[in-house]
Amino acid sequence: MHFLLETLWVLARSLFYCLESLVRFIIPVRRKSVSGELVLLTGAGSGIGRLMALEFSRLGARLVLWDINEEGNNETARMVRDMHGARAYAYTCDCSDREEVYRVASQVKREVGDVTILVNNAGIVTGKKFMDSPDALIEKTLEVNSLAHFWMYKAFLPAMIAANHGHLVSIASSAGLIGVNGLADYCASKFAAIGFAESMALELLASGCDGVKTTIVCPFFINTGMFEGANTKWPRLMPILDPEYACRKIVDAVQKEQVYLYMPRSIYIAIAMKNFLPTKMGVLLGEYLGAFNFMAKFKGNGKKSD
């Protein structure tokens, strides 16, 4: 196309998208129904995985629950059935093990059907200074928090593409947007998860597969026990999130087909500032917000994936 014409066309569309997002900011977006969808959650045996299972089933979805912790996973399935009378199928799977992912995935396809909403939620944290972190735990963190997402997409995305229908949800972290003292391996794994989900969303769009949506979730600390002992300096500015609240926001973002969800809202400001302020000022603000001591009293939940 002619340079001038194409530039004008892009400007006009840009203006339209700005207006559209302004309107959507004022008038709430219509939520899509998840009733009848088949939702697979990894890490469904506790924390926000369990809460998302309850929320999705309340909204009429069928559930496939994966966790390495069979007991917790069974308990989630029981809660889903008891509270909402919904169908829930629990599978024990270590999603850091590629062969196991492929094996359990084909079992799910055979026994339940094609997954239409995939939530990569399972995650672990070492919580030590990098030099004190055992190599095996560093590797495991990358395997669970990022590599597992590759194998889950390989297993479940083809059916979504074929139907041009589905939703990929990545439970990453604000630690995947900004480095944190004391969380080097975890941050690396979450940066990877975000880079992967974002790239795949573009790959889908470029191939014309516009029916498969992506939502990338970046929360600050959530009070689930995973980050027990981690602390925030100014809870009003950077509150530790309530698990029920976080879970409601995530499911809501899926229903609104929102691509990025950062929680709390101050994370949007922190990220914008990181990208345009002088570096020293960024560090100063980080100190002011207590970022250097987030992990000082970390205890964790004692659960380690093995």
Ligand X SMILES: *[C@@H]1O[C@H](CO)[C@@H](O)[C@H](O)[C@H]1NC(C)=O
Alpha helices (H) in the chain, listed in sequence order = 3-26, 47-58, 70-84, 98-111, 135-142, 148-163, 184-206, 243-255, 266-276, 279-288
Contact between residue 118 and residue 93 where contact means Cβ atoms under 8 Å apart: no
Cα distance between residue 177 and residue 230, in whole Å: 18
Contact status, residue 143 vs residue 95, Cβ threshold 8 Å: no
Candidate segments 18-26, 67-75, 83-91, 110-118, binder of ligand NAD by CB under 6 A: 67-75
* Region of 67-75, 146-154, 242-250, 270-278 interacting with ligand X (CB under 6 A): 67-75
Per rule CB under 6 A, is residue 96 in the interface with ligand NAD? Answer: yes
Listed ranges 68-76, 195-203, 248-256, 268-276: which one lies at the site for ligand NAD (CB under 6 A): 68-76
One-letter amino acid of 195: G
43: partner contacted, choices ligand NAD, ligand X, none (Cβ within 5-8 A by kind): ligand NAD
Active-site residue among 186, 245, 262, 288?
A: 186
Q: Which residue is nearest to ligand X (CB)?
A: 74
- For position 258 contacting ligand NAD by CB under 6 A, the verdict is no
Structure tokens at 179: 């480095």
Phi-psi region of 60 (alpha: psi -120 to 50; beta: other; left: phi over 0): left
Quick one: which of 274, 289, 294 has its CA closest to 178? 274
Quote the tokens at residue 97: 């093990």
Q: Which of 57, 126, 215, 224 binds ligand NAD (CB under 6 A)?
A: 224
Does 306 interact with ligand X (rule: CB under 6 A)? no
Q: Does 192 bind ligand NAD (CB under 6 A)?
A: no
The piece of 196-204, 224-232, 254-262, 268-276 that touches ligand NAD (CB under 6 A) is: 224-232
Residue 264 touching ligand NAD (CB under 6 A): no
CB of residue 33 to ligand NAD, shortest distance in Å: 25
């949007």: which residue's tokens?
A: 268
Distance separating alpha carbons of residues 162 and 208, to the nearest angstrom: 12
Of residues 20 and 70, the one with the C-beta less far from ligand X? 70
Is 247 an interacting residue with respect to ligand NAD (CB under 6 A)? Answer: no
What DSSP state is assigned to residue 128? S
Q: Which of 58, 74, 255, 289 binds ligand X (CB under 6 A)?
A: 74
Q: What is the CA radius of gyration of the chain?
A: 20
Does 266 sit near ligand X (CB under 6 A)? no
User: Segment near ligand NAD (CB under 6 A), from 9-17, 41-49, 54-62, 151-159?
Assistant: 41-49
Q: Does 46 bind ligand NAD (CB under 6 A)?
A: yes
3 state DSSP class of 8: helix
Strands 166-171 and 212-219: parallel
Of 231 and 255, which CB lies nearer to ligand NAD in the complex structure? Answer: 231
Q: Which does 69 bind (CB under 5 to 8 A by kind): ligand X, ligand NAD, none?
A: ligand NAD
**Secondary element (H or E) of residue 292:** none
Cα dihedral 117, 120, 121, 122 sign: positive
Is 186 a known active-site residue?
yes
Nearest Cα neighbor of 250 from 52, 53, 29 is: 52
> Which residues of the shown chain bind ligand X in the complex (CB under 6 A)?
70-71, 74
> Which residues of the shown chain bind ligand NAD in the complex (CB under 6 A)?
42-43, 45-49, 66-69, 72, 93-96, 121-124, 144, 171, 173, 219, 221-222, 224-227, 301, 303, 305
Q: Which residues are marked as active site?
A: 186
